[in-house]
Chains A and B, each alone.
Chain A
């Protein structure tokens, strides 16, 4: 399988590189483009092949079940998908305002000679190993969030909502901190590219600094959208750090939804419970998966679901951009 993939991927790569360098630049570039699409296609195909045994046994039920019971060889990845969606949602909701704030601060507010330093520092946080973030989440962020959320919830609803420091919410907040630099980098680039005449025109009509920033952000909304999807991809795919703080409760989803149905309040309650995401499920369960007959296929089914989900989100993004022409 691996050898096959290597041959299939390496040969087109070499042909494309040859075309690019020695034949005609345009053809080479097209080949590279086709090569990337083929890679994604092949990867999806590989997931499908690897996941086939469990799909053959359970049908599509594996995507709609929430049980994870290796003892009875019964697997489902729906609760993990829910976890991925919820943690990503929390992360994006917190990260986008932060990223825009960082971009505007660097380009507008900081003195010119500090911009470079501050910008590099923000970029540097993006290169930090994720396990460092995970450890920080385990020892500092989790316990802190638990105290903070509970002191607010005691005031609002009179009870603790977060019993454990390691929940989907903790993972979401940690992800927000991890992905902000990615979104910020893209937005900052766009922001710096606003043409001088446009900027002068904004100030010429008497805009305040705040209004100017607001207009410029609307001018670079394509970059904001780009940053959003780049960061979303990171949030959905992050494994190590999330695995350390997400809790790892494989069946909470069932209880909450069965008890109260899919409502806003049951989803919010779910966020403050420990859970699991697809990527962290794979990271946590893969090392011993070979001891079970169907666990490896089930984990590949999870990977397949995540890939298809990611493709669907990107398709929606492309559709929005093309239709809106923003």
Chain B
């Protein structure tokens, strides 16, 4: 999320004629949420909503809403079937991805992978799969494991989801880790027969390099049975469908001061569209004066102005960093409404 926040803060500084400077630092999702609650920060941003136990500490006193969509893609290094050679990308499902990271599917020529890829079946090599994951705690891992938890029941029982999980492939197969999206990205490029998950943006930047050694996978949406390529349209379709499902299930749009964990669960593995989504959530206090911030009125006014800009102008293609996806307008509305809760 960092590149997008930096870019917004810079552009906003420019469009306000250099009057307003928003400082954003990338300190990690968990730390962002924790330090926001300790009032060390004026606002927080995170790849996951406020965790439930932390939400309860401050329930009703703060708002949270999404500001941009990220997506997670599965990249692989398989020289035999590289896109540059075959013109085809692999098809994967939540079940096969889970089984790879659970160390149950150990080789690329496994019949369960072949069954999804009839066109490539005879070319898949009988080589051990190197499953690459993040070694640092990260929102990317949280969103990825949340997807597997929702989409494949056995994953929920054996692994679960969070910033860091205990990867069974580390013990049972050739699992390995790397630091940051850059690290995973680099490890997959450097390791033949590997697979890894990275933020959409890190694949978009290195697309040509991946096409030379392997590629990026089509993921099947288990709800409608279609395979989706990670394009901006398919990801946005997923987000809109997720919101629709939430609204149908709970009878109303998510409230900005509610616990957003159920919301993120409904957004994950949506009824249609590319299924692995992640949102960047922003946390703001409802009443900065009551929370003990100095100069509260100005602070609240500036934050409202900035996020109003982010949710409107900031969503235009020119202001969105490559690899991130603007919010569908009905999702952006939730944030705009949240800003009304903030006392001036």
Interface residues, chain A, with chain B CB atoms under 8 Å away = 67-72, 138-139, 142-143, 146, 163-166, 243-244, 246-252, 254-255, 273-274, 276, 284-285, 287-292
- Stretch of B14-22, B86-94, B169-177 contacting A (4+ beta carbons < 8 Å): B169-177
Query: Do A247 and B162 touch (CB < 8 A)?
Result: no
CB neighbours (8 Å) of A251 from chain B are 166-167, 170-171
Residue B246 at the chain A interface, CB threshold 8 Å: no
Residue B160 at the chain A interface, CB threshold 8 Å: yes
Contact for A288 among B28, B135, B159, CB less than 8 A: B28
Contact for B137 among A69, A138, A247, A285, CB less than 8 A: A285
Given contacts A252-B171, A287-B30, A290-B30, contact A71 B178 (CB under 8 A): no
Query: Do A287 and B165 touch (CB < 8 A)?
Result: no
Given contacts A163-B174, A164-B176, A252-B171, contact A287 B27 (CB under 8 A): yes
CB neighbours (8 Å) of A255 from chain B are 171-172
Closest chain A residue, CB of each to CB of B129: A163
Q: How far is the CB of A50 from chain B (nearest CB, A)?
A: 16
- Stretch of B183-191, B201-209, B272-280 contacting A (4+ beta carbons < 8 Å): B183-191
Query: Do B179 and A250 touch (CB < 8 A)?
Result: no
Contact for B179 among A249, A284, A289, A292, CB less than 8 A: A284
A69 to B168, CA, bound (A): 10
Q: How far is the CB of A186 from chain B (nearest CB, A)?
A: 31
Query: Do A288 and B138 touch (CB < 8 A)?
Result: yes
B side interface size, CB within 8 A: 43
Query: Do A71 and B28 touch (CB < 8 A)?
Result: no
Residue B194 at the chain A interface, CB threshold 8 Å: yes
A304 to B149, CA, bound (A): 35
Q: How far is the CB of B121 from chain A (nearest CB, A)?
A: 24
A249 to B103, CA, bound (A): 14
A274 to B183, CA, bound (A): 13
Query: Do B135 and A247 touch (CB < 8 A)?
Result: yes
> Which of B138, B162, B176, B186 has the most A CB atoms < 10 Å from its CB?
B176
Given contacts A68-B164, A71-B159, A290-B31, contact A285 B170 (CB under 8 A): no
Residue B128 at the chain A interface, CB threshold 8 Å: yes
CB neighbours (8 Å) of B128 from chain A are 163
A201 to B268, CA, bound (A): 80
Q: How far is the CB of A285 from chain B (nearest CB, A)?
A: 6
B123-137 interface with A by 8 A CB criterion: 128, 130, 132, 134-137
A315 to B177, CA, bound (A): 35
Closest chain B residue, CB of each to CB of A246: B135
Query: Do B179 and A244 touch (CB < 8 A)?
Result: yes
Closest chain B residue, CB of each to CB of A276: B135
Given contacts A285-B137, A288-B28, contact A164 B130 (CB under 8 A): yes
Query: Do B162 and A284 touch (CB < 8 A)?
Result: no
Given contacts A287-B30, A289-B137, contact A70 B170 (CB under 8 A): no
Query: Do A288 and B30 touch (CB < 8 A)?
Result: yes
Query: Do A244 and B191 touch (CB < 8 A)?
Result: no
